[in-house]
A = this chain, B = another copy of it.
Amino acid sequence: MVDSPRGQPRVAVVGTGLIGGSILLRLHEAGLDVVGWDPDRATRADGRERGVPFPDDLGEAVRDRDVVFLCGPLPSLPETLLTVAKHAGDGCVLTDVGSTKGAVAAFAVAHGLTDRFVPGHPMAGTERSGLTAAVPALFEGAAWVLCPAVEGIGPFRMLSGLIVDAFAARVVPMSPAVHDSVVALSSHVPHLLAGSLAGAVAGADVRDAVLGLAAGSFRDGTRVAGTPARRTADMLFDNREQVLRQLGQVSAFLDGLASALHSQDIDALVALFQRARDLRTALLDRDLVAHRREFPAGGDHRAEVAYLMQLGADGGYLTGCRVDGDLVGYTGHLPEPVDAT
């Protein structure tokens, strides 16, 4: 487990819906000292029935903790962050799981929390919600973004080790800005497309027949439209500039396909779909190579942070982080350089 002066860290999970609940259940299953807190009384009762301490008071829940995961809804995050920072000890590492990172990172800067708060985003989930939908294995093999900062490198290293060890997730280091640009394409625009497909069918004259014929492409293409509407709207709203920018790129490609179809240019249509297929093939066939890098544990951390940022931008991830004496060692996987032809 994690290298910690006190052995395994004591953890609190604040907000125990699908994501927070899955974090909580996994850490509890792994034998860590973990407590939960949720604003909903019934959820706290449910948590206690599962054998996890759930104090009624948020301040009490986080008071003696080494790590706190902030997992409530996006709009509540800034206020919860301030409350938790006030009640937790100065050495307590704070992180969140929100689906956008720019706003909360800027908020942490404004409130002088960058030495304790590491913005995070586990890229896992289902269209279901609540502690009842939580599953401990949710993050196995999933990407889990953490945003490293020079002044918060210690908390970053500690969380990286914990997340790899406890959740078997792939830690992807990224700046908040790059993260928000990437998830706009990898997650937020897909929610817009799924919503548009499902929403158009809802109003179509052939609605019932479409439901009767729905095969794989429709089921896959509408799955995330099953996400609670408010959760999806909050997520998109929080990242609206990047979402609209990336949607512009996707719409331009769609216009190209429609134009080729309209003008009956079959060769252009095939060529565009071939580009799309090559990307899908690249997604499935990524060749990753293991690597290891070391940095001085102390001193100037700019080279370390630059290495981490580049790793994430290149599509790589960390598989471990260990501080050993004067050195910090990262192990990870990095895609082989793509042939540009």
Residues of A bordering B, CB below 8 Å: 123-127, 142-143, 145, 172, 174, 178, 181-183, 185-187, 189-204, 206-230, 232-234, 236-237, 240, 243-244, 246-247, 249-254, 256-258, 261-262, 264, 266, 269-284, 286, 312-317, 335, 338
Contact = CB atoms under 8 A, between A and B. Distances in A.
B269 A200 contact: no
Given A143-B215, A209-B312, A253-B200, A273 B220 contact: no
B269 A202 contact: no
A162 to B, nearest CB: 20
A186 B198 contact: no
A226 B277 contact: yes
A50 to B, nearest CB: 25
Contacts of A209: 174, 178, 182, 312-315
B172 A185 contact: no
Contacts of A190: 197, 217-218, 220-221
Contact of A254 (B192, B230, B286): B192
B208 A273 contact: no
How many monomers of this protein are in the complex? 2
A200 B236 contact: no
A203 to B, nearest CB: 7
A217 B126 CA distance: 9
B230 A199 contact: no
Nearest to A207: B279
Contacts of A228: 277
15 contacts: A185-B197, A185-B201, A185-B218, A193-B193, A200-B250, A200-B253, A203-B275, A204-B246, A211-B282, A211-B283, A211-B315, A212-B314, A222-B280, A227-B277, A240-B261
Contacts of A182: 206, 209-210, 213
A270 B229 contact: yes
Given A186-B210, A198-B280, A212-B315, A220 B223 contact: yes
Contacts of A219: 283
A257 B59 CA distance: 39
Given A199-B257, A225-B279, A230-B270, 11 more contacts: A123-B213, A125-B216, A181-B206, A186-B201, A191-B217, A200-B253, A208-B313, A229-B276, A240-B264, A244-B261, A244-B262
A291 to B, nearest CB: 14
Contacts of A227: 273, 277
Contacts of A189: 197
